Amino acid sequence: MKEIKGIEHVCISVNNMDETLDFYINIIGCKLIDRFPLDWVNVELAHVEINGQFLEFTYKSDQPRLRTDRWEVGHIAFTVSDIYKVAENLSTIPNVKFVDEKPNVVNDNLITFFIEGPSGELIEFMELK
């Protein structure tokens, strides 16, 4: 459809909003845009931004988040300028769980690795050459 201009945000369900926001703001480097309840559906929403891109997190206390693996739909991917520096920085942070032991060279144009976020969501870091 030619009327579609782009993606406004991607939504991820989480198990703990405080832990999630702490991780994405203080470790990933996102900026908190807003956080508020939708009382009529028992959901809490939060929006964060990083370099003009937006993520929405939802927390529903009576419905835990489903876990996925990296080969299913359900991960966030960030492009980075120095993937080895990102991996090194993340390795110094307690409780960051690496899915991959080190960055993987996929081909001449792509290096990638995955970690788990605080709710078990998968986060991919990609360096594109």
**Which pLDDT value is given to residue 52?**
92
Which of 13, 39, 65 is where one domain is finished?
65
CATH of the domain at 100: 3.10.180.10
Shared-domain flag, residues 100 and 56: no
For the segment 14-19, the average pLDDT, to the nearest whole number, is 92
Q: What would the DSSP string read from start to end of 45-99?
A: EEEEEETTEEEEEEE-TTSPPPP--TTSS-EEEEE-S-HHHHHHHHHTSTT-EES
Looking at the fold, whether 55 and 103 belong to one and the same domain comes out as: no
Q: Do 93 and 61 fall into the same domain?
A: no
- Compute the CA torsion angle 15, 6, 25, 65 (nearest 10 deg): 10
Q: Domain total for the chain?
A: 2
Q: How confident is the model at residue 21 (pLDDT cuts 50, 70, 90)?
A: very high
Query: Do 60 and 74 fall into the same domain?
Result: no
Domain boundary among 37, 65, 93: 65
Judged against a pLDDT cut of 70, whether residue 50 lies above it is answered with yes
Range of the domain at 61: 1-65
**pLDDT one-digit tens code per residue, 99-122:** 998 999 989 998 999 999 888 888
Nearest to 59 by CA among 73, 74, 42: 42
**According to the model, what pLDDT value does residue 74 have?**
64
